[in-house]
Structures are given as C-alpha cells and as structure tokens.
C-alpha cells in the first residue's frame, strides 16, 4: 500500500538518518512511501506553549496533504499524539490512520522478525507521549499486564541486550518548550535519566521519540560522550 510518511521538522534538519532508516524500514516491507512537502511541523510546540490556535494551521495542512493515504507513519510518538488528539478534537477520521512507527510495525504490519543486528547494551527510554499517550506500553502507574511494542521490536534485533532501569518510565524532562522555559528542572530530570542508563551499563539509549533523545544526547555529549543516542528506527535497520 501507499504510506504517507511524516518527518517532523527537527528530524528533517538535524537527524536525517532517522528519516532514512524509517523510510527504508517501510519500503522494505514492500510499501510505496510518499513524503508530502507540507507541513514541516505538527504544531505541538505552539500548542504546548499555550498557542494551539497559532499551530492549528499545521493541523489543517496535515489534514489536507495526508488525507489521501490509508496509513500515515511517523518516527515521532510526540508528533503523532499531537496529530491524533488535534484531529480527534475536530472529529476527523484521519486521526485513526496516523501511526507512530513502532505502532505501525507492531499493529498494522505485524512484523515478526527483522534482519537487524546490533550487538550492544541498549537502554530503552520510553517517551511519555508514546507510552502514556499512544499506549505503546503499560505505564508503571497503571496496574495492568506488562507489554511494550518497542521492546518486542528490539527483541527481534540480533545481539541486542536490553538493560533494566531503576525508573523504567520516568520523563526525561524534554517537554518541548519546557526544556527552554524550565531549563533547570529539565536538565535535572535529564541528568537523572542518563545516570540511570549509565548505571545499568547502557552503551546506547534508544527511544521512539527523537526529541527526548535530542535532550538526553545533548547532555551525554557534555557529560558522558561514550554513551550514544539512537532512534529505534536506526537500531531496527542496523546491520
């Protein structure tokens, strides 16, 4: 089928390899993948800053440009959640055709094995919007059976060793513009997260949300450059 791929602004500009890995995963499944030129951004930074009306144009652009696709995929849980919630508020059926990458691979493509190999110790950072917003796994607060779509996918990767964490789903402190307007708390939260991963011997921190990794990676680059961040799509396509 033909898939619409949404590559968010910051991935396009700063992490093109994440877009390429996502593209290759999806085309590898036999899909035809198209990338409309607009919008570049989902509008979440505006909305979370209290200017949802200013960001509403991005939703309108998205609804217009992506309506022709049966399924829309994006390697960013946060953007997907914003699209879904905004479209649901508009009662747009498109809301139910937007998928975060892991969600698509797990629920729609029903991937059972991957030819990927990544012989490293990996810590999974469960992004809040993916976990609690999209339900990619069970939040630790809820007393429900444990499951995790990203973990199931990572377990298909040869040689990969997932490390346990003391706080398996605490927020990293990115929070969009929170990272700038509340930078002290944001940095304090991020430091605690990377310490947890390092303490358990992670060589790489991965996530379904590159924005969390932009924040954690920025801290690691100064404080523990031996540990890297990689989007889950990069690991699922690693050879």
Partner 1 sequence: MNATNHSKAAHEFLRDPQRAAWHDQTLWMVRSKRDRMAARVPEWEQLREAASQIKEHTLSQLAEYLEQFADNAEANGIQVHWAADGDEHNRIVHGILERHGLRKLVKSKSMLTEECHLNPYLQQHGIEVIDTDLGERIVQLQEKPPSHIVMPAIHLKRAEVGEVFHEHLGTPAGLDDPQQLTEAARQHLRNHFLTADAALTGVNFAVAETGGFVVCTNEGNADMGAHLAPVHIACMGIEKIIPKQEHLGVFLRLLARSATGQPSTVFSSHFLKPRPGQEMHLVLVDNGRSRQLARLDYRKSLACIRCAACFNTCPVYRRSGGYSYSYFIAGPIGSILAPNVDKAAHSSMPFASTLCGSCTSVCPVKIDIHAQLLKWRQEITAAGHAPWWKKAAMQATAFIVRRPFLFRFSGWLARKGLPLANLLRLDPWTRHRDLVDAPKQTFREWHNQQSSKAPVSSENRVNPVQKEPTPTP
Token pair in block for residue 72: 């829309």
> Which phi and psi angles does 119 have, rounded to 5°?
-80, 70
CB of 213 to partner 1, least distance (A): 10
> What residues numbered 176-195 form the site for partner 1, per CB under 8 A?
176, 178-190, 192
As a whole number of angstroms, the distance between CA 196 and CA 202 comes to 9
**Residue 23 makes contact with partner 1 by CB under 8 A:** yes
- Rule CB under 8 A: choose which of 64, 117, 155, 167 binds partner 1: 167
As a whole number of angstroms, the distance between CA 178 and CA 82 comes to 16
- Asked if residues 106 and 153 have their Cβ atoms less than 8 Å apart, the reply is yes
CB of 44 to partner 1, least distance (A): 10
> What residues numbered 43-72 form the site for partner 1, per CB under 8 A?
43, 45-55, 57-58, 61, 70
- Rule CB under 8 A: choose which of 102, 124, 217, 235 binds partner 1: 217
Looking at the Cβ atoms of 160 and 171, the one nearer to partner 1 is 171
**Residue 144 makes contact with partner 1 by CB under 8 A:** yes
**Residue 140 makes contact with partner 1 by CB under 8 A:** yes
Beta-strand relationship, 121-125 and 204-207: parallel
As a whole number of angstroms, the distance between CA 69 and CA 168 comes to 35
- Per-residue contact track with partner 1, 75 to 104, x per CB under 8 A? ------------------------------
CA–centroid distance for 31 within its chain: 21
CB of 67 to partner 1, least distance (A): 16
Which residue matches tokens 């307007």? Answer: 181
**Residue 112 makes contact with partner 1 by CB under 8 A:** yes
As a whole number of angstroms, the distance between CA 177 and CA 98 comes to 24
Looking at the Cβ atoms of 53 and 199, the one nearer to partner 1 is 53
Q: SS3 for 45? A: helix
**Residue 29 makes contact with partner 1 by CB under 8 A:** yes
**Residue 30 makes contact with partner 1 by CB under 8 A:** yes
CB of 233 to partner 1, least distance (A): 10
From 90-98, 117-125, 134-142, 196-204, span contacting partner 1 (CB under 8 A): 134-142
**Residue 143 makes contact with partner 1 by CB under 8 A:** yes
Query: CB under 8 Å to 53, separation ≥6 — which residues?
Result: none
> Which phi and psi angles does 95 have, rounded to 5°?
-50, -35
As a whole number of angstroms, the distance between CA 166 and CA 131 comes to 17
Whether the bond into 225 is cis, omega within 30 of 0: no
**Residue 199 makes contact with partner 1 by CB under 8 A:** no
Interface size with partner 1, residues (CB under 8 A) = 93
Looking at the Cβ atoms of 91 and 110, the one nearer to partner 1 is 110
């Amino acid at each position: 089928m033909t898939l619409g791929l949404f590559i968010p602004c910051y991935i396009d500009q700063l992490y093109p390899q994440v877009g390429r890995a996502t593209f290759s995963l999806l085309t590898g499944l036999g899909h035809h993948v198209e990338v409309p030129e607009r919008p570049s951004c989902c509008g979440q930074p505006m909305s979370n800053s209290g200017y949802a009306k200013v960001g509403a144009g991005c939703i309108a652009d998205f609804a217009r440009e992506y309506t022709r696709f049966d399924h829309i995929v994006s390697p960013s849980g946060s953007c997907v959640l914003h699209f879904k919630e905004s479209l649901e508020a508009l009662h747009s059926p498109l809301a139910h055709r937007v998928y975060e990458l892991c969600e698509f691979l797990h629920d729609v493509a029903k991937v059972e094995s991957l030819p990927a190999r990544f012989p490293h110790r990996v810590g999974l950072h469960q992004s809040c919007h993916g976990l609690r917003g999209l339900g990619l796994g069970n939040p630790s607060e809820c007393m429900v059976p444990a499951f995790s779509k990203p973990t199931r996918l990572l377990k298909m990767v040869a040689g990969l060793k997932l490390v346990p964490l003391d706080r398996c789903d605490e927020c990293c402190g990115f929070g969009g513009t929170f990272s700038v307007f509340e930078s002290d708390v944001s940095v304090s939260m991020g430091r605690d997260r990377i310490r947890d991963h390092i303490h358990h011997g992670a060589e790489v921190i991965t996530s379904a949300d590159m924005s969390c990794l932009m924040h954690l990676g920025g801290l690691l680059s100064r404080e523990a450059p031996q540990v890297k961040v990689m989007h889950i799509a990069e690991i699922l396509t690693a050879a």
